[in-house]
């Protein structure tokens, strides 16, 4: 048995499921991810306030997502300290940076605040996913489903929260919503206990990651390619759906409701996908997801008329979206790919989750299309 196989066997034998740990991790995920969900409703607001083109406003997306390339280094640092502080502080940092965008006097400050929020996201996800891998034990699909559901719940509430705050307090006054993330950081400080996980990780035998990466290079490359392609196809809806609907003559409130509907479907899709992936296998669920989601999303674009029936189609579409399905997350997490034991889990999770840098690409069609033809609508650009 080689070193990689030995590491896989040790992980497989450590199968205890920590329900409390999974719940706390899901709460942390929700506390953080509520703020990145503000970006979609903020794009048209920032564009109108600063008087900039959509091509320039589209830079908000890569500015927030670019720091994800630092996740391997953050995971490496978390392995040598404690994951607790990374997870505890990130919601507060994301809250302050993203809630302050309405106060920004120019696009440069907006992009700087988004870059800081992206660093908070990178700082959160690498250690948090590793913790879920440890808390989940041999029920990885279920643990990842609950963890992702926490994020999807917050992304469902987030667009409505920021839309309501802007309606009541104006864009400049909406900074008060940062109190939610700051309070969440305090709660996590009091409830998140990683001492047992840290002790296991630090006492575990050292494991060389290179043989594992060589042994798993094909599935890792496959997951990376899968997430890039599906991200380009589906992620523009998360960031530009509100802008698209406003351009079609709908209200900002309708745009926020549609975006929340898309995110709400992710809760159902994540829970269903996690259960099915444990029973039938992750490859089967991922294949079904990628086959259904892009055609349904573009069918929605063609049929969008503001009706309940179309919102229902959007909800069904979101259930099948790869973004809503935990198998891609669990497939890139320690157990399914045969990661090393806990002493290197954050590092491997940080490396595998670098696929989130694909989100930096989702603005490219909008930037290119609207630079060439500023009068083209977003539906034409996406198609």
| Centroid of chain to Cα 354 | 11
The Cα 245–Cα 379 span in angstroms is: 9
Higher-scoring residue by pLDDT: 286, 264:
264
DSSP class of residue 67?
Answer: G
Residue 189 CB neighbour total at 10 angstroms: 14
Mean of the pLDDT values across residues 264-273?
A: 78
pLDDT in the model for residue 296 = 85
Residue with tokens 């703020």: 35
Torsion of CA 52, 177, 63, 299, to 10 degrees: -80
The pLDDT-based confidence of 183 (bands split at 50, 70, 90) is: very high
* Least reliable range by pLDDT among 186-195, 247-256, 367-376: 367-376
Instruction: Give the closest residue to 348 by CA, choosing from 202, 150, 208, 198.
Output: 208
* Least reliable range by pLDDT among 38-47, 123-132, 367-376: 367-376
Residue with tokens 């908000």: 60
Most confident region among 44-53, 187-196, 271-280 by mean pLDDT: 44-53
pLDDT in the model for residue 140 = 75
Per the structure block, which two tokens stand in for 193? 């206990």
The Cα 5–Cα 25 span in angstroms is: 29
Contact assessment for residue 345 and residue 339, using Cβ atoms and an 8 Å cutoff: yes
> pLDDT > 70: what percent of the chain?
75
Contact assessment for residue 87 and residue 188, using Cβ atoms and an 8 Å cutoff: yes
pLDDT in the model for residue 372 = 45
The Cα 85–Cα 35 span in angstroms is: 19
Contact assessment for residue 159 and residue 41, using Cβ atoms and an 8 Å cutoff: yes
Q: Apex CA 62: angle with CA 56 and CA 63, to 5°?
A: 80
Does residue 73 have a pLDDT over 60? yes
- Mind giving me the DSSP string for 260-290? HHHHHHHHHHHHHHHHHHHHH-HHHHHHHHH
For residue 339, which phi and psi values (nearest 5 degrees)?
A: -70, 170
Instruction: Give the closest residue to 350 by CA, choosing from 129, 202, 199, 198.
Output: 129
Higher-scoring residue by pLDDT: 165, 195:
165
pLDDT in the model for residue 4 = 43
Higher-scoring residue by pLDDT: 374, 106:
106
286-306 pLDDT, tens per residue?
777 777 877 888 888 888 888
The pLDDT-based confidence of 358 (bands split at 50, 70, 90) is: very low
308-349 pLDDT, tens per residue?
899 999 998 888 776 544 444 444 444 433 344 344 444 444
Domains defined for the chain, CATH in brackets: 3-382 (1.20.1250.20)
pLDDT in the model for residue 205 = 65
Does residue 126 have a pLDDT over 70? yes
Nearby residues of 142 by Cβ (< 8 Å), 6 or more positions away: 17, 136, 274, 275, 278
pLDDT in the model for residue 20 = 85
Does residue 163 have a pLDDT over 70? yes
Q: Round the average pLDDT of the chain to a whole number and report it.
A: 77
pLDDT in the model for residue 146 = 86
The Cα 60–Cα 115 span in angstroms is: 9
DSSP class of residue 206?
Answer: P
12-57 pLDDT, tens per residue?
445 578 888 888 999 999 999 999 999 989 999 999 999 998 888 8
pLDDT in the model for residue 332 = 44
The pLDDT-based confidence of 216 (bands split at 50, 70, 90) is: confident
The Cα 268–Cα 118 span in angstroms is: 26
pLDDT in the model for residue 381 = 56
Per the structure block, which two tokens stand in for 89? 């502080």
> pLDDT > 90: what percent of the chain?
28
Most confident region among 73-82, 180-189, 360-369 by mean pLDDT: 180-189
First to last CA, the chain: 50
The HSE-up count of residue 113 (CA atoms within 13 Å, CB side) is 24
Output the pTM of the full model: 0.74
pLDDT in the model for residue 206 = 65
């Amino acid at each position: 048995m080689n070193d990689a196989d030995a590491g896989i066997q040790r992980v497989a034998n450590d199968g205890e499921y920590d329900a409390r740990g999974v719940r706390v991790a899901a709460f942390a995920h929700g506390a953080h991810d509520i703020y990145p969900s503000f970006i979609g409703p903020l794009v048209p607001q920032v564009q109108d306030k600063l008087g900039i083109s959509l091509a320039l406003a589209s830079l908000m997306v890569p500015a927030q997502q670019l720091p994800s390339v630092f996740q391997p280094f953050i995971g490496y640092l978390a392995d040598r300290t404690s994951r607790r502080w990374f997870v505890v502080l990130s919601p507060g940092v994301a809250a302050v940076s993203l809630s302050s965008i309405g106060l920004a006097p120019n696009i440069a400050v907006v992009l700087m605040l988004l870059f800081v929020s992206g660093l908070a996201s990178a700082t959160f996800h690498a250690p948090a996913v590793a913790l879920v891998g440890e808390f989940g034990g041999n029920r990885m699909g279920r643990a990842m489903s609950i963890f992702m559901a926490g994020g999807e719940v917050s992304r469902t509430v987030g667009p409505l929260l920021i839309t309501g705050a802007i309606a009541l307090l104006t864009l400049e006054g909406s900074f008060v919503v940062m109190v939610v993330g700051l309070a969440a950081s305090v709660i996590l400080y009091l409830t998140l206990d990683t001492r047992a996980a840290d002790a296991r990780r630090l006492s575990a035998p050292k494991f060389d990651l290179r043989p594992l990466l060589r042994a798993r290079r094909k599935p890792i490359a496959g997951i990376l390619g899968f997430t890039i392609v599906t991200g380009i196809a589906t992620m523009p809806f998360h960031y530009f759906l509100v802008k698209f609907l406003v351009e079609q003559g709908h209200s900002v409130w309708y745009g926020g409701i549609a975006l929340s509907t898309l995110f709400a479907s992710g809760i159902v899709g994540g829970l269903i996908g996690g259960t099915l992936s444990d029973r039938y296998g992750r490859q089967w669920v991922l294949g079904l997801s990628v086959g259904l989601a892009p055609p349904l999303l573009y069918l929605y674009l063609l049929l969008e008329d503001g009706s309940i029936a179309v919102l229902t189609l959007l909800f069904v579409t979101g259930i099948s979206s790869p973004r809503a399905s935990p198998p891609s997350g669990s497939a890139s997490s320690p157990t399914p790919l045969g990661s090393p034991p806990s002493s290197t889990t954050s590092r491997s999770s940080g490396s595998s989750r670098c696929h989130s840098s694909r989100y930096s690409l989702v603005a490219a069609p909008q930037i290119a299309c609207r630079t060439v033809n500023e009068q083209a609508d977003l539906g034409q650009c996406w198609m």
